[in-house]
Each structure stands twice: as C-alpha cells, then as structure tokens.
Amino acid sequence: MKQTTTETAPPIEQAEPIAAIATPVGAGALAVVRISGRGIFEIARKVFRKQGDPAFLFSRSKGYRAHFGSMHDREGLIDEVIALVFRSPNSFTMEDVIEFTCHGGPVVVKHVLQVLLDEGCRLAEPGEFTRRAFLNGRIDLLQAEAIGEMIHALSESAFRTAVTQMQGTLSKRLESMRERLLHSCALLELELDFSEEDVEFQNRGELDEELASLHEELQRLIDSYRNGRLLKEGVATVIAGKPNAGKSTLLNALLGEERAIVSHTPGTTRDYIEECFIHEKTLFRLTDTAGLRETAEEIEHEGVIRSYRKISRADLILYLLDSSEENLSGEISRIRQFRDEYPDARMIVAANKTDLAADASERVQMLRRETGCEVCGISAAKGRGLEGLLHLMASMVEGLDKLHDASELVTSLRHYEALRNASDSLDNARLLVEGGEGTELIAFELRAALDYVGEITGKVVSEEILNVIFERFCIGK
C-alpha cells in the first residue's frame, strides 16, 4: 500500500521513539529490528557507523535509502547491519522509521534491540507500529485489522480476502454509505435549526427510499458474514456418532497422522479433539467428539454434553455410523432428529466399515433414501472412500474458495455486530418516517447508524476498542 504524499503535506506530530523485533524469534539467516518516532535519527547515529563515512548522519539521508555499516554498544561491535531509512510522512507509521537488518541469531538480535532501548527507545507494545499508522491516517481501522488477518491467515482464501480488505475496497464502500447517511443527517439537523418555521428540508418519501436503499446494502454485507467467517476461521466440521463408529480413526485418516487414540473399547474419547486441515483451498476445522450414548459414568457424560455443544455450533456435521450393523433403524432415527434440530448445519452421513458389510452399496442407497442426506460409503481404517468424502465435503461448501474475488465480504465479528446495530437503527428510522414522527427522533436514529458504520473504519472509536484490536497483534507489527 504505497502512500502518495506531496512535499507540501503537513508534518506528522511524531510520538516517542519505539523499537521492536519485526521478524519471528528464533535462529535464521537474517532478522529485522525497526524503530519509529521522534528523535530516532539521533538515537541511531549513536550506535551505527556507516562503512567509509565516519561523519554519516541519518538526519541527512534521503528516504528509501539503505546504508551498510555496523552496530556498536558500549562494549564494542555487535554486528554488521544494513540500515534502511524511511522519512516522515513516507513510511508505514508516517513517522521517521529505520529498519536494521542484522544476522538472525537470537543473541545478535537481542543485542541490537537492547542497544536501541539503552539509547532512548521504548519497547513497542503489540501492534503499536500499525496503531500509529492508523492514528496518523495512513490506514483506517478496518485496513489495520486486515493486516493482522493477513498475517494469521491459515488458508489461501482467507489470505486473499484479507489482502482485498487491506487495499481498502470494503472501506470505500462503507465510507460511501456513511457519506449518504451524513447527508441525510445534515438535512434533518437543518430542519431542527428552523423548527419554528416548520420547514422540511428532507422530503419524507425520498428519505424513506434512501433509507430503504441503505438498509439493503447493509443487509448484503451482514449476509456475507457467514461465508466470511468460514473463510477466516475455517468450516467448523464435527464428526459425530455412536461410540465405536470409527470417529477417531476417521479424524486420523483425514489429517494423515495419529492425532487421536484409537481403541475398540467404547467411550475412549472423553473430550473433543480439534485440528485444522486444508482441502481444495478451504480450511476445515475438524472436531472429533465423544460417542453419543446414555451413560452413568460422570466423565463420559460430560464428554457427551460437550459433543452436543459442538454439534450445535457446527457448519458441517459428519455423522459417522457403522454400516456393518445388522439394524440401522436407530441410526436413521437419530440422523432425522439431527436434521430437525440443526437445520442451519450442512450434513453428510459417512457410512463407515463398508469393508465389513457384504451389501455395502445397497445400504448406502438405503441410507440416502431414508435420511434424505448426502451419504458416502467409506472404510476409515482401510483408507477407502476418503477421496469421495473429501470431494463431498468440498461440494457442501462450494464457492468458498472463490469468495476472495468478492470485494465486499465481512469476516470480523466486530464489523458484523456494528452493521447489525446500524441496520436496526435504520429500521427504527424508517418506522418513525412512516409513522410521521418528529424530526428529532428520526435524526437520533440516523446519527446512531452513522456512528455504528463509523466504528468499523475508525471514524468513531474508543480507546478500549483500539486496545482490544491491537493487543492481538505481535510485537513489532
């Protein structure tokens, strides 16, 4: 995200100097320590010596220039480094910034950071560089959050969606909506100023049409959150079924590793096990649960309760049954019950142990007919039918891997809640307009909607919200 800034841009009021390691902790070829803020050029001058230029001053360096030299503390040489200079306001934080690239040994990096702290820098708090970029107007709050989501993305789709948001596409859409709200608010405020003259600056019919249009746009964004959440957090996929159906075996087979303990003894799994894997660009958050049955054993009973809790929150349920059992009527009844109780979840019936059933194909067809679900015959122990199951799982969430092409996709719970609140305020405003209520009440609801939309991009934001957002960032970002 290159920031275009002219020579006449107003100077940034730079905050106290901060320093942090900007690369992962651990041994590596190279590491980066960055500093930002007021007076960093003088701090850097005390500890850096440019090769071939003993009189070098950072304050005279042009921006985007790299200088090779060495870092020194009071005991002598620390390391040979490259110092990359960014001058305010043309940097990520819009303050003066220097990034020191040194060798990546933990002790080396620690010394480089420590000498900068000794000379006047403060250790940066989590996300403080990005926070300064937001406070100085380099990015809005939504873009700042997108940077964090991009760093922590677990799938290609989540990464692409975060990149799109970081570029400001969704921010522009929200700002356009905010400007329309602001226009309507301004006209209503004028009416309040001239209330004694009974002047109507905003035709109520036109206002109702505008609010209806805005509400429709908000609703589209709200509706996108389900898919956006799936991209960001993964498809919550729960393996459910009776004890000894082969749930743990299936978990291990899908993950390709021995993650869960497998035993022929019923009730081995007492608590859920959760792992992630990616198939066809879609992230699945796979959960193996305790077998579903009535039990008097206290720990197993608690495991069953937790299983149902996970099932109730699932996006996709893999109901696993032993297809070799002689009578499957009980399982069919439970599957039908699941379909009624969890209508929002997609559901696949995995008919396991087909290698032990002589009429496996006929049983699969019968299960499909009796349950109305998608049914896939597998043998988790033998690894048979897993490709078909994975293909079916991908088809159940088809299109998620392409959603990053959509420029407006809500992935954050914070944004989702703010949009819902804004939508509720617009609903209230429309009811007031239709009921012929006074200007002051309508204006109050529109101002509330305006504030809720502004919360997303940071036009309206509290210190508490900023702390919650940036404390999730790593130090150095």
Identify which of 90, 87, 94, 84 has the alpha carbon closest to the alpha carbon of residue 132: 94
Q: Residue 210: which domain range? A: 147-224+409-458
Tens digit of each residue's pLDDT, the chain (477 residues): 434 333 445 677 899 999 999 998 888 899 999 999 999 999 999 999 999 998 899 999 999 999 999 999 999 999 999 999 999 999 999 999 999 999 999 999 999 999 999 999 999 999 999 999 999 999 999 999 999 988 888 877 788 888 888 988 899 999 999 999 999 888 888 877 666 556 666 788 888 999 999 999 999 999 888 888 887 888 888 888 888 788 888 888 888 766 654 445 444 444 567 888 888 778 888 888 776 655 555 565 566 777 778 888 888 888 888 888 878 888 898 889 888 888 888 889 988 888 887 788 888 889 889 988 888 988 888 889 899 999 998 888 775 545 444 567 898 999 999 999 999 999 999 999 988 888 889 999 999 999 999 999 998 888 888 888 888 888 888
Tell me, yes or no, whether 98 lies in a domain. yes
Q: In terms of DSSP bridges, do strands 235-240 and 122-123 run parallel, antiparallel, or are they unpaired?
A: unpaired
Q: Tell whether 386 and 238 lie within a shared domain.
A: yes
In a domain, 123, yes or no: yes
Pick from 107, 139, 171: which residue ends a domain? 139
Q: Domains in the chain: how many in total?
A: 3
In 3-state terms, what secondary structure has residue 168? coil
Helix, strand, coil distribution of the chain in percent, nearest 5: 50, 20, 35
Residues across the chain = 477
- Let me know whether 267 and 285 are in one domain: yes
Q: Which two tokens stand for residue 252?
A: 């291990």
The SS3 assignment for 334 reads: helix
pLDDT of residue 48: 96
CA angle 151, 153, 156 (to 5 degrees): 120
Q: Which residue from 96, 37, 33, 36 is spatially nearest to 64, judged by alpha carbons?
A: 96
Where helices occur in 399-461 by DSSP H, the ranges are: 413-434, 439-457
**How much is the pLDDT for 271?**
54
241 and 360 fall within a common domain: yes
d(C-alpha 43, C-alpha 61), whole Å? 14
Which residue type occupies 379?
Answer: S
CATH of the domain at 247: 3.40.50.300
**Residue 463 forms part of a structural domain:** no
Q: What are phi and psi of 254, to 5 degrees?
A: -70, -35
Q: What is the pLDDT of residue 220?
A: 92
171: enclosing H helix or E strand: helix 169-193
Residue 87 and residue 39 share a domain: yes
Residue 347 is assigned to a structural domain of this protein: yes
Helix orientation angle between 463-470 and 128-135, rounded to the nearest 10 degrees: 140
Q: Are residues 413 and 397 in the same domain?
A: no
Q: Would you state the structure tokens that stand for residue 195, as one six-digit string? A: 């209330």
- Whether the CB-CB separation of 243 and 267 falls below 8 Å is answered with yes
Q: Is 65 helix (H, G, I), strand (E, B) or coil?
A: strand
Residue 475 inside a domain? The answer is: no
Of the residues 109, 139, 169, which one is the last residue of a structural domain? 139
- Distance from C-alpha of 211 to C-alpha of 206, rounded to nearest angstrom: 9
State residue 270's pLDDT score: 45
Q: Is residue 1 part of a domain?
A: no
Contact 239, 247 (CB under 8 A): yes
In angstroms, the CA 442 to CA 431 distance is 9
Q: How far apart are CA 22 and CA 126, in angstroms?
A: 11
Domain match, 124 and 97 both:
yes
